[in-house]
Structure 1
Amino acid sequence: MISFASFPSSSHDFSDYSTTRHHPDVEDDIAMDFDLEDGDFEDATQKLIVPGEPLTSSHAFMRGHGTYVDGEEVVGSVAGTVERVNKLVSVRAIRTRYNPEVGDLVVGRITEVQPRRWKVDANSRQDAVLMLSSVNLPGGVQRRKLESDELQMRTFFEEGDLLVAEVQAFFADGAMSLHTRSLKYGKLRNGQLVAVPPVLIKRLKSHFLTLPCGVDVILGLNGYIWVSKHVKESQQEGEEGFDAEAVYSNKNDDIDDATRAAISRVCNIIRILAAQFVPLTDAVLLEAYDLVVEQEGDVKDLLHGDAGDALVTALGGRG
């Protein structure tokens, strides 16, 4: 059984984000006074407020999404993080659908195969679209898509397949247009999907992480995280004449028991941190993994008892 004896903590039910204890970095921000006129928004994305909490004067600022005006104050109407653009104040809800931007990296699941396109569930308000012209096909990236390619669309992606892609543009109805023209994008295999609130995924220099335990992590900005067996960089290089059978294969590779355990451990760590409303970054995941490995406990023990609270407390102690 995993025990973080040096970091005592109380028991909490982390099934509901609104009732859990938060990471010390977030708690510090919660305690800060929301005096917007004093320029208290350097790190606004981590300010957690509750419904009914006054934010600022309605005379000095305009109300945005997630707020309303009560008398002379702008008040939050949802639980979430405060955001400000010039004089516009809004609250980004914790429990909300992903709001995409061009260039975002997302992880999604194919829901439907249509003529010359795939529909993709990307945790947004409507399904995203992956056009046949926006994927890598055998014979090189630049070649034209032929009728034979359209007839073989299910050999590339079919219903239920997971993929990582980039937001390329938006259609007139607001749906995302995705692309997988780089070999670092495309079909996902050899791993496990974990879903967290999108508000916890921060924009990083790179959302492709490699942990020392031989596990790759893809932090999708839409709240879908892919944890998989490590793939060497040499296996991803050489887009011209790439091996389409390997890239679009539906068969997982052989994964040894140690790697399987590492994947499960990382997934459980992500679930615990998300339940405690800890923003997920490469540094946080590395620290949390090191703490768990030091205890040398079973993977399943992470989700039992007070291990989750103790892990977050330990992270705060190291910070």
Structure 2
Amino acid sequence: MLSFVSFSHPTDHGSTHHHLPDTEDLLDVADFESSRSKLTCPGEIITSSQAFMRGHGTYVDKEDVIASVAGTVERVNKLVTVRAIRTRYNPEVGDLVVGRITEVQPRRWKVDANSRQDAILMLSSVNLPGGVQRRKLESDELQMRNFFEEGDLLVAEVQAFFSDGAMSLHTRSLKYGKLRNGQLVTVPPILVRRLKSHFISLPCGVDLILGLNGYIWVSKQVGDSDQGEEGFDAEAVYSNQNDDVDNATRTAISRVSNIIRVLADHFIPLTDTLLLEAYEWVIEQEGETKDLLGDAGEALVAAVSSRG
């Protein structure tokens, strides 16, 4: 969980020299080990340049490593960096992402994945009727908009990178593909932690997909498909029609979405256990869903922070 660290500030505003803070104000190895990440602001002294090396988001003045951006302080061995809070998603192979189709091109789709440039989903990287292993035919290319069209949301995995740095995605697992029966919530990518599974099912009948790119899908819970790849039902998987969602599930989806927005507004990292605790706390309060965006949201943050 993010925590705030107070540092001493120079008293002479006319000088660029930063005075040496007390020893206890500096971050040492124990500080880094005790907290996964700490939030800092531009100009704050992070640690001593004699003990650590400066990385991205920092600079050295005299004997100090100083933050140049607002973000979370992270350490790898002796290298100290600051990851900016407001930044584009920096993808890695194997990442789970949620995206939106922006353009249909020959044999490929362009996907907005909240990165520096649109990702690419090749026709050869999706499941098609008749089994995954079959060759893609010219008829498949002519029917590409029957699978994905502009505006469709999907969940996919980062497969590789093209020479220009664009992500290459794939949806070859039955867990991936078009998204329906829910709503999209956008948070800073830095707040989505890497978990063992980014598919989360809450006891209220709501499924969550935590995209590492900061796009989170909150939807009606669906049962696991017992069909194998050979039993792939393209009509159901690529359907544009939402299922019937009862009022209780709609309320639960709205409640979970508001919980995510409140936690993100307070820069609290999102994990499966944290979201479950937050939802249980909200249920105990028996308040209205819309109240979460007011005083109830502040109380939620205080409750979750105290448990952490």
Normalised by the size of structure 1, how large is the TM-score? 0.87
Larger RCO: 1 or 2 (CA < 8 Å, sep 6+): 1
Q: Deviations over 1:12-31 (max 9, x none)?
A: xxxxxxxxxxxxx4337678
Determine if contact 2:26/2:48 at 8 Å carries over to the other structure.
Answer: no
1:188 aligns with 2:164: no
Q: Which amino acid aligns with 1:289?
A: Y
Match of 1:17 in 2: none
Secondary structure of the residue aligned to 1:40 is helix
Shift of 1:43: 5.8
- Structure 2 CA distance for partners of 1:314 and 1:257, relative to 1, 3 Å: same
Match of 2:249 in 1: 259
Determine if contact 1:100/1:176 at 8 Å carries over to the other structure.
Answer: yes
> Which of the residues 142, 154, 164 maps onto 2:155?
164
CA distance in 2, matches of 1:200, 1:161: 24
Secondary structure of the residue aligned to 2:2 is helix
Shift of 1:65: 1.4
Q: CA RMSD for the aligned pairs?
A: 1.8
Structure 1 segments unaligned to the other structure (5+ residues)? 1-24
Shift of 1:314: 1.7
Shift of 1:167: 0.5
Q: Which amino acid aligns with 1:58?
A: S
Match of 2:299 in 1: 310
> Which of the residues 269, 285, 305 maps onto 2:275?
285
Determine if contact 2:206/2:219 at 8 Å carries over to the other structure.
Answer: yes
Shift of 1:39: 4.9
CA distance in 2, matches of 1:45, 1:109: 31
Q: Which amino acid aligns with 2:239?
A: S
CA distance in 1, matches of 2:6, 2:148: 44
How much identity, in percent, do the aligned residues show?
Answer: 78
Determine if contact 2:207/2:220 at 8 Å carries over to the other structure.
Answer: yes
Match of 1:276 in 2: 266
CA distance in 2, matches of 1:43, 1:139: 52
Secondary structure of the residue aligned to 1:274 is helix
Determine if contact 1:44/1:83 at 8 Å carries over to the other structure.
Answer: no
Determine if contact 2:120/2:167 at 8 Å carries over to the other structure.
Answer: yes
Shift of 1:34: 4.1
Match of 2:58 in 1: 67
- Structure 2 CA distance for partners of 1:89 and 1:318, relative to 1, 3 Å: closer
> Which of the residues 210, 225, 234 maps onto 2:216?
225
CA distance in 1, matches of 2:288, 2:50: 56
Q: Deviations over 1:172-196 (max 9, x none)?
A: 1111111000010000000000000
Shift of 1:84: 2.2
Match of 1:13 in 2: none
Match of 2:69 in 1: 78
Q: Which amino acid aligns with 1:244?
A: A
Match of 2:19 in 1: none
Q: Deviations over 1:145-184 (max 9, x none)?
A: 1111111111100110000000111111111111000010
Instruction: Point out the structure with max Rg over C-alpha.
Output: 2
> Which of the residues 98, 118, 138 maps onto 1:127?
118
* Equivalence map 1:176-255=2 (5 Å): 176-233=167-224, 235=225, 237-255=227-245
CA distance in 2, matches of 1:30, 1:103: 36
CA distance in 1, matches of 2:85, 2:4: 18
- Structure 2 CA distance for partners of 1:197 and 1:45, relative to 1, 3 Å: farther
- Structure 2 CA distance for partners of 1:208 and 1:162, relative to 1, 3 Å: same
Secondary structure of the residue aligned to 2:281 is helix
Q: Deviations over 1:189-231 (max 9, x none)?
A: 0000000011110001100000000000000001000000001
> Which of the residues 74, 82, 92 maps onto 1:91?
82
- Structure 2 CA distance for partners of 1:208 and 1:98, relative to 1, 3 Å: same
1:27 aligns with 2:3: yes
Determine if contact 1:44/1:82 at 8 Å carries over to the other structure.
Answer: no
Q: Which amino acid aligns with 2:126?
A: V
- Structure 2 CA distance for partners of 1:268 and 1:177, relative to 1, 3 Å: same
Determine if contact 1:200/1:278 at 8 Å carries over to the other structure.
Answer: yes
CA distance in 2, matches of 1:54, 1:125: 30
Determine if contact 2:96/2:212 at 8 Å carries over to the other structure.
Answer: yes
Q: Which amino acid aligns with 1:297?
A: G
- Structure 2 CA distance for partners of 1:292 and 1:35, relative to 1, 3 Å: closer
Shift of 1:241: 3.1
Determine if contact 2:96/2:157 at 8 Å carries over to the other structure.
Answer: yes
CA distance in 2, matches of 1:181, 1:27: 39
- Structure 2 CA distance for partners of 1:39 and 1:69, relative to 1, 3 Å: same
